[in-house]
């Protein structure tokens, strides 16, 4: 049988090892988080469609699910990506290959998928009109985005606004 002082000594050694290992485990978890894609998911509305959008049936505010991947966070790379998932089995995606979206319109690559996947022939342009917080980081829990898209859905002259509320994905 072991003595009480011997058990206490082993307990102290285990606690000391635990305290020494904990910072390494926390740093490893932080490195893993920064090495993954950083993605925010949520929903909101695409609305205020211009009259040119009616050609494809976009006339009313539409609720969308959405994904936002900001540039240079984790392994996201140089591109900024935003996707909109519509209730009728249709999705559109926009990518700014380099840089970040701001308050001026920028040319983005756009495409859609439904029964087929295609890129828009009319170059869409996108801008953000509001973003909270102003600087998104890898551990930002919630992001709100508002913006505008010209040539929405590849429709020449079609302009739409969007408002999204998104949460960081684990």
pLDDT one digit per residue (tens) for the chain, 170 residues: 545 455 444 444 444 444 444 344 444 444 544 568 999 999 999 999 999 999 889 988 999 999 999 999 999 999 999 999 999 889 999 999 998 999 999 999 999 999 999 999 889 999 999 999 999 999 999 999 999 999 999 999 999 999 999 999 98
Dihedral angle of Cα 98, 99, 100, 102, to the nearest 10 degrees: -120
pTM, whole model, 2 decimals? 0.78
Alpha carbons 85 and 66: distance in angstroms, whole number:
6
Environment class of 144 (CB within 10 Å of its CB; exposed 0-12, middle 13-18, buried 19+): middle
Tell me what pLDDT residue 158 has: 96
Cα 93 to Cα 9, 13, 26, 63, 149: the distances in Å are: 61, 55, 35, 15, 11
Sort residue 63 into left (φ over 0), alpha (ψ -120 to 50) or beta.
beta
What phi and psi, each to the nearest 5 degrees, are found at residue 68? -130, 125
Tell me what pLDDT residue 88 has: 85
Alpha carbons 50 and 152: distance in angstroms, whole number:
10
Q: Which residue has the tokens 């600087």?
A: 135
Query: Which of 158, 143, 154, 156 has the alpha carbon at shortest distance from 66?
Result: 143
Tell me what pLDDT residue 6 has: 53
Alpha carbons 78 and 75: distance in angstroms, whole number:
9
């Amino acid at each position: 049988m072991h003595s009480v002082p011997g058990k206490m000594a082993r307990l102290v050694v285990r606690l000391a090892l635990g305290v020494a290992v904990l910072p390494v485990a926390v740093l490893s978890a932080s490195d893993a988080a920064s090495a993954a894609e950083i993605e925010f998911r949520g929903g909101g509305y695409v609305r205020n469609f211009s009259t040119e959008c009616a050609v494809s049936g976009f006339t009313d505010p539409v609720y969308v699910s959405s994904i936002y991947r900001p540039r240079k966070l984790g392994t996201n790379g140089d591109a900024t990506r935003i996707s909109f998932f519509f209730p009728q089995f249709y999705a559109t995606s926009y990518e700014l290959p380099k840089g970040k979206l701001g308050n001026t319109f920028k040319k983005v690559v756009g495409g859609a998928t439904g029964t087929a996947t295609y890129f828009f022939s009319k170059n869409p342009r996108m801008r953000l009109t509001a973003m909270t917080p102003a600087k998104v980081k890898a551990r930002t829990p919630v992001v709100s985005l508002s913006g505008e898209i010209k040539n929405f859905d590849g429709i020449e002259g079609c302009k739409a606004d969007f408002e999204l509320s998104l949460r960081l994905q684990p």
